[in-house]
């Protein structure tokens, strides 16, 4: 066993992953993890920080089978062992979770958390910068570590969020954030996770001429932006151009180092956007979209384009569509073989609703998506699609100890999320705004019974 | 006009069928359970007798022991649209419609105490701070396809409210989701009249910009304007009473006082014949309106949203006002920063009559799951949580004599679920209103294929027609009337967010 | 030429000129009935005032279902005096041989809206009027309906009479029924204060009350109640003046007849759901209501029939939606269904027993009504019923049936002369007679010439009379303007239209003091022109050439 490698791993866990991630990332530690389980784990890791042993829960790994009466060992923020019948190391702090269920934290794959506090209060929003090209703007630098929304979101088992801004066409680089930490730097898992592009609206047969014109103009402007960036790259190589941060910001996207996070919604817009990316050779991409993904499922599967569905709990867009169109879209994608994650919208309104993420997945399950796929669509699938599956998304050795414990199926609303860990730190679920108010007023003295 | 109960359509349906045949499009257009156009939807029959056999029945009735609240393997019998019995092995005539309820759950039809579905032409008369003269019932839009979508979520009744732009808004309409009938047919005739009030940021226009500022701009001003309106209503009532007394005394040729529909509605509030549904968030404004109501001799029927209701739960309970809340929304504007998901549970625990509403055409499709949040946050027992979206809103709207629970004598409004009604994995299989089946998932699934085929056939027909009248579209003048009929094409925003 | 005509009137013209014109007129009048057949220059160009005319050798649709295959219609001084197969033309009548043509009764437009002048924004409402600017029941269409342009537009579609309705407001005011002859309301008024008119309107956010349709309905309810109160209060005060005098409000007073069902109230509906809402309101407020429909009434047929309302039914069928080969989902089923079914709306309403008349309302070009009706007829609607819904139907509805609606002796001489069926995809209306005056209609072709510039012409009339004039055509081919000019004066061109190689010009002579129109046709061949025209004084021909073209517009070059 190579201890240096383990230490290196720990070191890495404290660093922000700066490398770009392929969206089809495979967990890199699986072989290592197998080895660690085969050997006696405590001998390996005793030289590092204290070990916490979570014992007795049914462990829902998501990546593999559920483990009844399982044990999860955590050290230095990472999972170092998972399994049934694992001995608890000497000196380990033991957490008895008998009768409970342990799940990887839910991953919100499109979010405005931390960048907005109260939608209607303008001063609390850092969501959209002015200008068409904000390639040089980073979402995470205004991520408010003490946003009141974060603890409430964690109380719902949602422990990671992919945050992005929405100003202009190129809205800026995005980041995958832990929801617990001291500041935005130590909460960042990955940046730049991607470059968000809100594709211009595309005119349809139902539009009037004016709409059609402004739509094609917007696409032309986008074309021009990309051409300018390509030209900038050549001129830069030739040393004949001054530094331009906005152009500079686009280069990693053009070189495929940073994936394109393409936001496009209705069928015509999605198709146009996909044609456009193909034309520009932007093949490292994720499509963030909604219910119309069902109409392009085959193409998405063929072209192996992963999808983030930004909300399942929404109305059909057209009167003649089935009432459950948004609910069944995930199962349509699943059956077509499209890789997808389920999210809520990356809007201010979506932010306050973040804790309800699992119920989007549950609704899909009620309408045909296999339950295990529904669970995966809010845990491991988004981690893979966002390129952070080496950190989070499942209960596997080497991953961050970011999980929650519940008294049942967390896709059921009646189930309670009881305890939460982020990167090995347990989060105090009572130390949050809403719980404090609950506690205060629940204990308000009741009025004396009056006899009338 | 009175609503036309509907033994119609057969002839129309035949005309349609023959039309389609004539045009060479070989489409069978049978009686459709789902049609995206209400005018084209068939009215379901009302069978003489219906019995659901062997289901798990959640009666949502009050004053029953916990073991009787959820009846296993039980039958529900509806006769002529009215519940006749709930029990086991109920006897029915041979022509009764029998529904196998094995493995299914049955609940009362869900009731949404705060809806803006099925209205046209704007639900905010935002011009004046008092608009008690406007009536939602005047502008009900039966073509709103969300009516059908909400039926598909088990909803049977909605309280369609005026918006919250003014301290005293307009008159609401309680509707039954009788998809396909015209506007008057939607009205629940038994429901008492009501009116919308609004407190806080919306009436003081905190988050809106108008060319001219409008009084009031503070919560204090909101109180003042409500009191002023009631003072004017008292003067109005007095003037009419004096006139009527004079007439009784035989006076002739008196110049009569003018009738004022705005003040008349306020007099009705003071007379107790018009229910007040008050949009409210903060504890202070809830207490304020309770005081105002006391001073003018009425009780607020419901505080709507009432997201700080948990802070004044005891006061609410003492006043007898109901609380119709969101389950867990918060932080979308400053006045809801202290909203908590335990709101319903705390108020329920302190004997407030609590319901959960939607205020959203989308959320109204899954109010059962909103009720489940009362279990999640604060541990309300499931049977009681279900009442948050059935019996309790019925009581708040004072229609519990007819609806809200499955008890003999009440309307045959019920939902058949594929599983536990508070489970995220359950689906609505059938929704019945007045003993008529307005939603059936099975026939819906079949009908939507027909619908899709019809659309494709018509698209093709347009392509084949070479219709030159296309140009005429430009010949017609745009209609300046501000009416938002349902637009069934998608033009933009992925998510519709509400301006609560 | 205007100058000359003025001169004739004023007596200031040179004696020679006056004498020449007098000779020309004498010539015209003395030629007798046979002359028109011989001289095409006089056929169809004269602006005939009332007099005796015989329209002969023609198919006559006297009324829906009542047809004379070949007969004669005689009118005298604007009134039909005889019609039938065996009718002889009187000796003093001008005879029009209309072989191959068909006569129809003049059509009646039931609902033609037009903008009336509004007070300037910010003006205080006039004392004694309702404070809400949308409430103008006292507004009289008759006071603002001097609108020859509107009359011409309607006439060109075969409408010889129309109910004119103020376009603005919610309580829009009272309509007037007029004939569509020229000269404004004075000579054309048929019936005043035909109906009160209501349309639900809103004001923009922040602009006042109401901002919602339900607010508009509440306003309707309150104003109606106030009008009833106004009448009762003033009656009570009159009976016992020893009380405080109630306020007077001219708007509320003007609603009195409508609240007493002495005047109809016409509601405009924007869809069938609104129709049913209006039915409820009209019944609640006890109005004698008519409803302007929207063409989607078939969607709620039984309910619409149950209202018992009579409809003014726009004949406006939607054009085919734009449908791409690859379905982009943007065309809704509702849109497609309406496209498919709307042409059957009249038929379905008729079968359901709903009474209605047709209106060209909502068609920017009223001529389109014939094409749309042809479609409805193709889809099963009865052609006679269509004619009735534009003639006898509205005549009866508006109490005009003693004088209008059919071609019978004793009725006003309102006649449409067509080539072929009235309801056809390309209906050809040759002439329209309004109160015995003939208006010839042009068949407009796409322009084949560029007419802009200054043309010098020499006018010739009977008796060897000649005089020079200048015609200046400015603007663009779609929007021609200019003037007719001679040494002694200039008159602006009222309208000028190009059809094929010919420019049709109209000049209103009223500014010079002579009532009537000067009209002429300029046939253009390169830089040369020739043509003919009429004035109230007589007919003339001219020839000439272009002396200058407008300079190229620099913006166009760019």
Residue C192 maps to a domain: yes
Residue C485, pLDDT above cutoff 70 = yes
- Per-chain mean pLDDT for chain A: 90
Best CA proximity match to C405, nearest among C34, C106, C70, C88: C106
* Sequence-distant (≥ 6) Cβ neighbours of residue A227 within 8 angstroms: none
B209 or A100, greater pLDDT: A100
Residues of B in contact with A438 (CB under 8 A): 310, 340, 342, 346, 378
CB of B405 closer than 8 Å to CB of B391:
yes
pLDDT given at position C536: 64
Q: Provide the percentage of residues in chain B whose pLDDT is more than 70.
A: 86
Q: Average pLDDT in the B378-385 region?
A: 97
Give Cα A325 distance to the centre of its chain. 24
Which chain C residues in 165-204 lie under 8 Å from chain B, judged by CB atoms?
A: 199-203
Residue B13, pLDDT above cutoff 80 = no
Distances (CA, A) of B247 to B241, B251, B252: 10, 5, 7
pLDDT given at position A54: 98
A21 or C311, greater pLDDT: C311
- Global pTM reads 0.86
Q: Do C336 and B462 touch (CB under 8 A)?
A: yes
Q: How many CB pairs under 8 A join A and C?
A: 34
Q: Do A444 and B490 touch (CB under 8 A)?
A: no
Q: Residue C404: CA atoms inside 13 Å, Cβ hemisphere, count?
A: 34
Residue C89, pLDDT above cutoff 50 = yes
Residue C15 maps to a domain: yes
pLDDT given at position B466: 78
Residue A30, pLDDT above cutoff 80 = no
Q: Do A322 and B444 touch (CB under 8 A)?
A: yes
Residue C307 maps to a domain: yes
Q: Do B475 and C239 touch (CB under 8 A)?
A: no
Q: Average pLDDT in the B247-254 region?
A: 96
- Whether residues C262 and C398 share a domain: the answer is yes
Residue in chain A nearest B366 by alpha carbon: A313
- Whether residues C351 and C236 share a domain: the answer is yes
Residue in chain B nearest A267 by alpha carbon: B490
3-state secondary structure (DSSP) of residue A248 = helix
Residues of A in contact with B152 (CB under 8 A): 323-324
Q: Do A207 and C331 touch (CB under 8 A)?
A: no
Residues of C in contact with B491 (CB under 8 A): 330
pLDDT given at position C495: 77
Res. C207 pLDDT band, cuts 50 70 90: confident
- Choose the final residue of a domain: C435, C454, C484: C435
A67 or A41, greater pLDDT: A67
pLDDT given at position B362: 96
pLDDT given at position C534: 76
Residue C278 maps to a domain: yes
The predicted-structure confidence for B84-125, as pLDDT tens digits, reads as follows: 999 999 999 999 999 999 999 999 999 999 999 999 999 999
- The domain ranges of chain A are 106-389
CATH number at residue C98: 2.30.40.10
pLDDT given at position C24: 37
Q: Provide ipTM, 2 decimals.
A: 0.90
pLDDT given at position B131: 97
Residue C421 maps to a domain: yes
Q: Which of A202, A204, A206, A269 is the best substitution to test chain C (most C C-beta atoms within 10 A)? A: A206
Best CA proximity match to C429, nearest among C107, C157, C181: C157
Residue C514, pLDDT above cutoff 90 = no
- Whether residues C496 and C430 share a domain: the answer is no
The predicted-structure confidence for C150-184, as pLDDT tens digits, reads as follows: 998 999 999 999 999 999 999 999 999 999 998 88
Q: Which of A189-203, C323-337, C514-528 has the lowest mean pLDDT?
A: C514-528
Residue C45 maps to a domain: no
CATH number at residue C292: 3.20.20.140
Enclosing domain of residue C476: 2-27+445-557
Enclosing domain of residue B155: 110-401
- Whether residues C396 and C362 share a domain: the answer is yes
C503 or C267, greater pLDDT: C267
Q: Do B372 and A437 touch (CB under 8 A)?
A: no
pLDDT given at position C499: 80
Q: Do A441 and B331 touch (CB under 8 A)?
A: no
- For chain A, how big is the Rg over CA atoms in Å? 23
Which chain B residues in 138-197 lie under 8 Å from chain A, judged by CB atoms?
A: 145-146, 148-149, 152
Paired tokens of C368: 């389109």
Q: Average pLDDT in the A418-427 region?
A: 98
Residue C34 maps to a domain: no
Residue B31, pLDDT above cutoff 50 = no
Q: Do A318 and B489 touch (CB under 8 A)?
A: yes
- Whether residues C451 and C386 share a domain: the answer is no
CA angle B303, B308, B313 (to 5 degrees): 75
pLDDT given at position A329: 98
The Cα B313–Cα A445 span in angstroms is: 11
- Whether residues C424 and C346 share a domain: the answer is no
Q: Do B182 and C334 touch (CB under 8 A)?
A: no
- Whether residues C330 and C458 share a domain: the answer is no
Residue A162, pLDDT above cutoff 80 = yes
Residue in chain A nearest B318 by alpha carbon: A447
Residue B339, pLDDT above cutoff 70 = yes
Residue B462 maps to a domain: no
The predicted-structure confidence for B41-62, as pLDDT tens digits, reads as follows: 989 999 999 999 999 999 999 9
Partner-chain residue, chosen from C243, C273, C307, that has the shortest CB–CB distance to B143:
C273
Residue in chain B nearest A417 by alpha carbon: B376
CATH number at residue B250: 3.20.20.140
Q: Average pLDDT in the A107-118 region?
A: 97
Element containing residue C345 per DSSP (H, E): helix C345-351
Q: Which of B33, B148, B331 is the best substitution to test chain A (most A C-beta atoms within 10 A)? A: B331
Res. C481 pLDDT band, cuts 50 70 90: confident
- Whether residues C136 and C186 share a domain: the answer is yes
CA of B21 to nearest chain C CA: how many angstroms apart? Answer: 13
Residue B478, pLDDT above cutoff 90 = no
A408 touches chain B (CB under 8 A): no
CA of B10 to nearest chain A CA: how many angstroms apart? Answer: 22
Q: Provide the percentage of residues in chain A whose pLDDT is more than 70.
A: 89
C514 or B69, greater pLDDT: B69
Element containing residue A184 per DSSP (H, E): helix A184-187
pLDDT given at position C504: 85
Residue C33 maps to a domain: no
- Whether residues C96 and C220 share a domain: the answer is no
CA of A15 to nearest chain B CA: how many angstroms apart? Answer: 33
Residue A213, pLDDT above cutoff 90 = no
The Cα C57–Cα C100 span in angstroms is: 8
Q: Do C330 and A268 touch (CB under 8 A)?
A: yes
The Cα B285–Cα B263 span in angstroms is: 23
The Cα A343–Cα A329 span in angstroms is: 13
Number of domain units in chain B? 1
- Choose the final residue of a domain: C349, C383, C404: C404
Distances (CA, A) of B122 to A132, B364, C22: 34, 19, 68
- The total of other beta-carbon atoms located within 10 Å of residue B209's CB is 8
pLDDT given at position C462: 76
Q: Do A318 and C328 touch (CB under 8 A)?
A: no
- Whether residues C273 and C395 share a domain: the answer is yes
- Whether residues C357 and C470 share a domain: the answer is no
The predicted-structure confidence for A261-306, as pLDDT tens digits, reads as follows: 999 999 999 999 999 999 999 999 999 999 999 999 999 999 999 9
Residue C13, pLDDT above cutoff 90 = no
Res. A37 pLDDT band, cuts 50 70 90: very low
Q: Average pLDDT in the B460-487 region?
A: 53
Q: Average pLDDT in the C480-488 region?
A: 77
CA of A268 to nearest chain C CA: how many angstroms apart? Answer: 6
pLDDT given at position A86: 94
Q: Give the ranges where A394-443 is alpha helix by DSSP (H).
A: 433-442
- Whether residues C150 and C281 share a domain: the answer is yes
CA of A436 to nearest chain C CA: how many angstroms apart? Answer: 41
Best CA proximity match to A410, nearest among A156, A179, A180: A156
The predicted-structure confidence for A330-357, as pLDDT tens digits, reads as follows: 999 999 999 999 999 999 889 999 999 9
Could you identify the residue written with the tokens 């759950």? B105
Partner-chain residue, chosen from A205, A319, A320, that has the shortest CB–CB distance to C328:
A205
For domain A106-389, the CATH superfamily is: Metal-dependent hydrolases (3.20.20.140)
Residue in chain A nearest B331 by alpha carbon: A118
Number of domain units in chain C? 3
Q: Do B494 and A324 touch (CB under 8 A)?
A: no
CA of B347 to nearest chain C CA: how many angstroms apart? Answer: 35
The Cα C87–Cα C408 span in angstroms is: 12
The Cα A245–Cα B412 span in angstroms is: 67
A444 touches chain B (CB under 8 A): yes
Q: Average pLDDT in the C3-25 region?
A: 37
Q: Provide the percentage of residues in chain C whose pLDDT is more than 90.
A: 65
Residue A401, pLDDT above cutoff 60 = yes
Best CA proximity match to B463, nearest among A1, C324, A400, A221: C324
Q: Do C332 and A292 touch (CB under 8 A)?
A: no
CA of C323 to nearest chain A CA: how many angstroms apart? Answer: 6
Which chain C residues in 344-363 lie under 8 Å from chain B, judged by CB atoms?
A: 344, 348, 362-363
Partner-chain residue, chosen from C323, C333, C334, that has the shortest CB–CB distance to A205:
C323
pLDDT given at position C46: 35
Q: Do B489 and A204 touch (CB under 8 A)?
A: yes
């Amino acid at each position: 066993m190579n201890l240096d490698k383990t230490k290196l791993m720990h070191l890495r866990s404290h660093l922000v992953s700066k490398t770009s991630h392929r969206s089809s990332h495979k967990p890199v530690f699986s072989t290592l993890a197998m080895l660690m389980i085969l050997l006696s784990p405590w001998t390996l890791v005793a030289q590092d920080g204290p070990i916490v042993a979570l014992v007795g829960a049914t462990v829902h790994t998501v990546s593999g089978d559920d483990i009844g009466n399982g044990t999860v060992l955590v050290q230095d923020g990472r999972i170092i062992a998972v399994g049934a019948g694992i001995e608890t190391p000497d000196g380990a702090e033991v957490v008895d979770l008998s009768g409970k269920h342990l799940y990887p934290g839910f991953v919100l794959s499109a979010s405005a958390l931390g960048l907005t506090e109260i939608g209607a209060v303008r001063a609390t929003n850092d969501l959209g910068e002015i200008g068409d090209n904000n390639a040089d703007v980073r979402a995470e630098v205004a991520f408010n570590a003490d946003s009141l929304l974060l603890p409430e979101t964690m109380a719902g088992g949602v422990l990671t969020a992919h945050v992005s801004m929405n100003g202009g066409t190129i809205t800026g680089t995005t980041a995958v954030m832990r929801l617990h930490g001291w500041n935005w730097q130590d909460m960042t898992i990955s940046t730049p996770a991607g470059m968000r592009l809100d594709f211009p609206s595309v005119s349809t047969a139902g539009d009037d001429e004016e709409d059609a014109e402004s739509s094609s103009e917007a696409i032309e402007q986008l074309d021009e932006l990309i051409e300018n960036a390509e030209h900038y790259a050549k001129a830069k190589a030739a040393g004949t151009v001054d530094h331009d941060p906005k152009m500079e910001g686009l280069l990693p996207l053009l070189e495929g180092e940073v994936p394109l996070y393409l936001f496009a919604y209705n069928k015509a817009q999605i198709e146009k956007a996909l044609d456009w990316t193909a034309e520009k050779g932007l093949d490292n991409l994720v499509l963030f979209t909604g219910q119309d993904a069902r109409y392009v499922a085959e193409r998405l599967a063929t072209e192996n384009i992963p999808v983030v569905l930004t909300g399942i709990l929404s109305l059909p867009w057209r009167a003649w569509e089935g009432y459950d169109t948004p609910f069944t879209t995930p199962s349509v994608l699943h059956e077509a073989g499209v890789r997808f994650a389920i999210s809520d919208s990356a809007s201010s309104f979506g932010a306050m609703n973040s804790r309800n993420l699992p119920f989007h997945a549950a609704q899909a399950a009620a309408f045909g998506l296999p339950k295990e796929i529904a669970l995966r669509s809010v845990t491991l699938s988004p981690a893979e699609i966002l390129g952070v599956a080496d950190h989070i998304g499942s209960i596997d050795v080497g991953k961050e100890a970011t999980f929650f414990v519940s008294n049942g199926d967390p896709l059921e609303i009646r189930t309670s999320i009881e305890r939460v860990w982020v990167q090995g730190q347990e989060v105090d679920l009572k130390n949050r705004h809403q719980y404090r108010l609950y506690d205060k007023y629940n204990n308000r003295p009741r009025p004396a019974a009056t006899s009338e | 006009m009175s609503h036309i109960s509907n033994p119609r359509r057969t002839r129309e349906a035949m005309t349609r069928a023959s039309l389609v045949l004539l045009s060479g499009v070989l489409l069978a257009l049978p009686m459709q359970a789902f049609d995206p156009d209400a005018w084209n939807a068939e009215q379901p029959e009302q069978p003489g007798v219906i019995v659901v056999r062997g289901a798990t029945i959640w009666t949502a009735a009050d004053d029953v022991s916990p073991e009787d609240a959820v009846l296993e393997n039980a039958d529900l019998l509806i006769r002529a649209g009215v519940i006749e019995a709930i029990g086991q092995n109920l006897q029915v005539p041979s022509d009764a419609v029998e529904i196998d309820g094995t493995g299914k759950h049955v609940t009362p039809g869900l009731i949404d105490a705060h809806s803006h579905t099925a209205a046209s032409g704007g639900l905010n008369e935002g011009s004046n701070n008092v608009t008690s003269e406007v009536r939602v019932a005047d502008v009900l839009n039966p073509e709103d396809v969300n009516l059908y979508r909400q039926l598909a979520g088990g909803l049977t009744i909605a309280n369609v409210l005026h918006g919250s732009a003014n301290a005293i808004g307009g008159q609401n309409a309680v509707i039954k989701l009788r998809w396909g009938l015209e506007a008057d047919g939607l009205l629940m005739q038994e429901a008492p009249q009501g009116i919308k009030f609004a407190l806080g940021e919306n009436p003081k226009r905190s988050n809106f910009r108008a060319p001219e500022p409008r009084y009031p701009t503070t919560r204090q001003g909101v109180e003042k304007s409500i009191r002023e309106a009631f003072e004017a209503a008292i003067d109005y009532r007095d003037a009419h009473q004096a006139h009527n007394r004079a007439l009784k005394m035989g006076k002739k040729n008196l110049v009569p006082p003018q009738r004022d529909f705005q003040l008349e509605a306020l007099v009705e509030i003071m007379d107790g014949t018009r229910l007040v549904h008050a949009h409210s968030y903060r504890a202070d404004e809830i207490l304020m309106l309770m005081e105002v109501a006391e001073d003018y001799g009425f009780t607020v029927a419901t505080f709507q949203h009432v997201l700080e209701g948990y802070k004044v739960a005891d006061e609410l309970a003492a006043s007898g006002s109901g609380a119709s809340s969101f389950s867990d929304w918060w932080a979308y504007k400053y006045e809801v920063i202290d909203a908590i998901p335990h709101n319903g549970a705390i108020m329920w625990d302190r004997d407030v009559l609590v319901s959960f509403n939607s205020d959203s055409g989308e959320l109204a499709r899954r109010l059962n799951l909103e009720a489940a949040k009362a279990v999640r946050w604060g541990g309300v027992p499931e049977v009681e949580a279900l009442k948050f979206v059935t019996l309790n809103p019925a009581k708040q709207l004072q229609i519990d004599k007819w609806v809200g629970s499955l008890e003999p004598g009440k309307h045959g409004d019920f939902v058949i679920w594929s599983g536990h009604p508070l489970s995220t994995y359950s689906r609505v299989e059938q929704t019945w209103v007045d003993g008529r089946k307005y939603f059936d998932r099975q026939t819906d699934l079949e009908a939507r294929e027909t619908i899709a085929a019809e659309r494709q056939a018509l698209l093709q027909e347009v392509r084949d027609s070479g219709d030159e009248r296309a140009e005429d579209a430009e010949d017609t003048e745009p209609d300046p009337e501000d009416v938002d009929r349902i637009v069934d094409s998608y033009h933009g925003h992925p998510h519709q967010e509400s301006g609560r | 030429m205007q100058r000359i005509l003025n001169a004739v009137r004023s007596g200031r013209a040179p004696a020679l000129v006056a004498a020449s014109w007098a000779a020309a007129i004498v010539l015209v009048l003395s030629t007798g009935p046979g002359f028109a057949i011989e001289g095409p220059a006089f056929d169809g160009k004269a602006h005939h005032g009332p007099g005796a005319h015989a329209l002969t050798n023609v198919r006559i649709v006297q009324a829906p279902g009542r047809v004379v295959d070949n007969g004669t219609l005689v009118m005298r001084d604007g009134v039909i005096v005889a019609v039938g197969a065996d009718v002889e033309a009187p000796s003093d009548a001008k005879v029009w041989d209309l072989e191959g043509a068909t006569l129809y009764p003049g059509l009646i437009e039931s609902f033609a809206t037009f903008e009336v002048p509004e007070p300037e924004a910010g003006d205080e409402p006039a004392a004694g009027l309702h404070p809400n600017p949308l409430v103008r029941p006292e507004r009289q269409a008759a006071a603002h309906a001097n609108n020859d342009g509107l009359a011409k537009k309607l006439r060109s579609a075969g409408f010889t009479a129309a109910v004119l309705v103020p376009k603005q407001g919610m309580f829009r005011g009272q309509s007037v029924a007029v004939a569509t002859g020229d000269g404004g309301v004075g000579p054309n008024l048929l019936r005043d204060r035909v109906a009160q008119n209501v349309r639900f309107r809103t004001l923009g956010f922040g602009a006042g009350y109401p901002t919602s349709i339900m607010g508009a309905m509440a306003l309707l309810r309150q104003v109606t109640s106030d009008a009833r109160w106004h009448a009762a209060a003033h009656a009570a005060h009159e009976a016992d003046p020893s009380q405080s005098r109630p306020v007077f409000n001219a708007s509320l007073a003007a609603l009195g007849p409508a609240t007493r069902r002495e005047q109809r109230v016409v509601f405009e509906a924007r869809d069938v759901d609104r129709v049913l809402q209006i039915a409820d309101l009209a019944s609640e407020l006890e109005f004698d209501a008519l409803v302007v429909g929207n063409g989607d009434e078939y969607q709620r047929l039984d309910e619409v029939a149950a209202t018992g309302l009579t409809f003014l039914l726009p004949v406006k069928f939607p054009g085919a939606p734009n449908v791409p080969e690859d379905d982009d989902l943007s065309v809704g089923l509702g849109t497609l269904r309406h496209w498919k079914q709307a042409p059957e709306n009249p038929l379905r309403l008729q079968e359901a027993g709903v009474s209605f008349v047709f209106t060209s309302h909502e068609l920017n070009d009223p001529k389109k009504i014939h094409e749309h009706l042809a479609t409805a007829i193709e889809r099963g609607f009865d052609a006679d019923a269509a004619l009735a819904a534009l003639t006898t139907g509205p005549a009866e509805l508006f109490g005009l049936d003693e004088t209008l609606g059919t071609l019978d002796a004793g009725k006003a001489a309102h006649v449409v002369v067509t080539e072929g069926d009235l309801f056809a995809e390309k209906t050809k209306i040759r002439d329209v007679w309004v109160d015995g005056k003939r208006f010839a209609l042009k068949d407009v072709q796409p322009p084949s010439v560029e007419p802009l510039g200054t043309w010098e012409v020499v006018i010739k009339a009977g008796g060897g009379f000649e005089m020079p004039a200048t015609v200046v055509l400015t603007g663009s081919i779609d929007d021609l303007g200019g003037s007719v000019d001679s040494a002694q004066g200039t008159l602006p061109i009222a309208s000028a239209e190009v059809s094929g190689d010919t420019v049709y010009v109209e000049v209103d002579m009223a500014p010079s003091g002579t009532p009537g129109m000067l009209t002429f046709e300029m046939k253009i061949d390169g830089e040369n022109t020739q043509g003919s025209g009429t004035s109230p004084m007589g007919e003339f021909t001219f020839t000439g050439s272009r002396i200058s073209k407008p300079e190229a517009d620099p913006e166009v070059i760019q």
